[in-house]
Each structure stands twice: as C-alpha cells, then as structure tokens.
Amino acid sequence: MSDSSPRVSIIMRSCNDSDVIRGTLQMVRAQTYTDYELCNFDSTSTDGTLDIIREFNVAERILLNDPASYNPGRVLNSAVAATAGEILVFLNSDATPENEDWLQRLIAPLQDPACGASYGRQTPRPDCRSLFVKDTERAFGDGRVSAGWLHFFSMANSAVRRDLLERYPFDTDIQYSEDIDWSYRMRRLGHKISYVADAPAMHSHNYTLGQSYRRHYGEGKAEAWIFRNGELNSSFLRYCMLPLGREVLRDLGWAVRRASMDALLYSVPLRAVQKWGRWQGLKSGRNSYGIS
C-alpha cells in the first residue's frame, strides 16, 4: 500500500459462529489491501468461536462482552474507541467476503470527502431458504430496488469514516436497527451513503417463524424512534396490511419463476408473522418513546 492509503480497522462482532467464522477470517487474511488491523469483539462464545479467533488474532485485539446485557450501540461505540483506523470497517463474523479485493472496493467510495459511509452487497449462503434468498437479492442485488425505499443500509458489511462516528455515536436507546438509525441521521445531515455492489459478502439467516416475529418486532419498535418525525405512514392498512399483500404477491411470482414449492408454501405464514410482528413492535415503540 502507498503512504497515502488510509489506515483501516476491521471491527468483527461474533457470538457462537464457529460454523462460519473461520471462512470469514480466512478471507480477511487473504485481502490484497493489507493496511488494516483486525479487532474481534465476541459475546463470550461457548461453541469454539473464540478458539478460532485466537488462531487469527492476537490477544490484545480480542475483546469480550456480556451477551446477557448486550446492547449493539454500546458495543459498537466501545469498538470505535478501542480502534485506531481512519476508516472503520464493520464486518459481521457470519458475513464472509467473496473475493480478495473486497476491502479495497468497499472503502473506495470514501475517497470522496462527501461520502460518509459505504455498504457492500450481501448474497445468500448455499443453504439459504428460498424466500430469504429472494429477500436478500431484492434488498441488495444491483441496488435499484432499495434505492427507492425510504432508507436502507446494513452495517454487516460496511465502511465508515472514524470522524463521523466520534462526532455522532450510535444510539444506545434502541436494541435493533442501530445501523439504520445512524446512517439515516448521517443522510439527513448531508453525508453521502454509497452502495458497493462489487464488494459482496455471503450473509443470510434461515429464521424460524418465531425468530422472524422477534426480529421484526424489534425492528418495528426501533422504527418508531428512527422515523419519529412522521416519515412513515403508520396506519394499520399502510404499515401492515398493504405491505403484507404486496409481499405475498411478489413471493408467488418469484416462486413460479423459480419453480419453488418452498416459497409457495411458506410465503403466507412467514409474511403474516413478519408484518404482524413489525406492527406490534411499532405500537410498542410509540408507547415506549411517547410518540403519538
């Protein structure tokens, strides 16, 4: 790297990810851009994850947190304080870079002073269930679909300027969507957020119906705070029922094109659980934050 190359700190969070973290660490080690430090922040894993991390990192750059009191904003703010890079790259331990120039491509947009953050493409893992494949492809892909949404960002594969995070830390009052909250605030302040389709990482989850409900409940509760200035139409019809109907129709069309029986059978129960959970979370959040 040249003397003008920015120093990067890669912040990797993990919790019982022994089945995937080795591949992620191997791809980080294989990067052509080498002016970085790797810092691991583990939620006291019990499945051998820490043993794998110790194969790839030194003890002073491995920090533990208590999963019982885990707050994503607080952990991320602590990670910022513990690292030294001009650019902070956030890479979940289960988000495995797909090529050796991933890091170079991910940080490239930050050469523009107007760009405050970038986030890379995410692709489904080989074992990803059909509808989660569809959701991942729709949210990321070439970026055209999500560009039309109110706001979209993912910290799981992202790069951010240190100076912004020092001035504007993560919100610790929410338990979900801290990345959406932070990036939305930055966008409203005029900082550019860039999507990098050619910096992909494999990252997907096969959530059960119960897990899907809990996740969407948490995200709905967070949305009550993030979009508290009236950005959302929060009526039951517009926030829950119409999105439910549109998503099921998209699922059915996708299932027919892909000849996926799994998608056909799973669409209605999955989407009903997701939208109902999000609606319940939004209501809970509005009550918690005193938003009318």
Q: Is the domain of 22 the same as that of 152?
A: yes
Model confidence at 291, pLDDT cuts 50, 70, 90, reads confident
61 with 39: CB under 8 angstroms? yes
224 with 287: CB under 8 angstroms? no
pLDDT (average), residues 127-146: 97
In the predicted structure, residue 3 carries a pLDDT above the cut 60: no
Of 168, 174, 17, nearest in space to 88 by CA: 168
Q: Is the domain of 283 the same as that of 182?
A: no
pLDDT in tens, 142-188: 999 999 999 999 999 999 999 999 999 999 999 999 999 999 999 99
CA neighbours within 13 Å on the CB side: how many for 92? 21
User: Domain boundary at 182, 202, 222, which?
Assistant: 202
Bridge partners, 64 (sequence order): 42
What is the domain range of residue 227? 209-289
The predicted pLDDT at position 4 comes to: 59
Concatenated DSSP letters of 137-189: HHHSTTSTTGGGSS----TTEEEEEHHHHHHSPPPSS-SS-HHHHHHHHHHHT
pLDDT in tens, 62-76: 999 988 889 999 999
Mean pLDDT, the chain, integer:
95
pLDDT in tens, 212-261: 999 999 999 999 999 999 999 999 999 999 999 999 999 999 999 999 99
Residue 177, in any domain of the structure: yes
Total structural domains in the chain? 2
Residue 53, in any domain of the structure: yes
pLDDT (average), residues 13-28: 97
Residue 159, in any domain of the structure: yes
pLDDT higher for 3 or 242?
A: 242
In the predicted structure, residue 278 carries a pLDDT above the cut 70: yes
Q: Is the domain of 168 the same as that of 34?
A: yes
User: Domain boundary at 165, 186, 202, which?
Assistant: 202
Q: Is the domain of 125 the same as that of 14?
A: yes
In the predicted structure, residue 124 carries a pLDDT above the cut 90: yes
Residue 2, in any domain of the structure: no
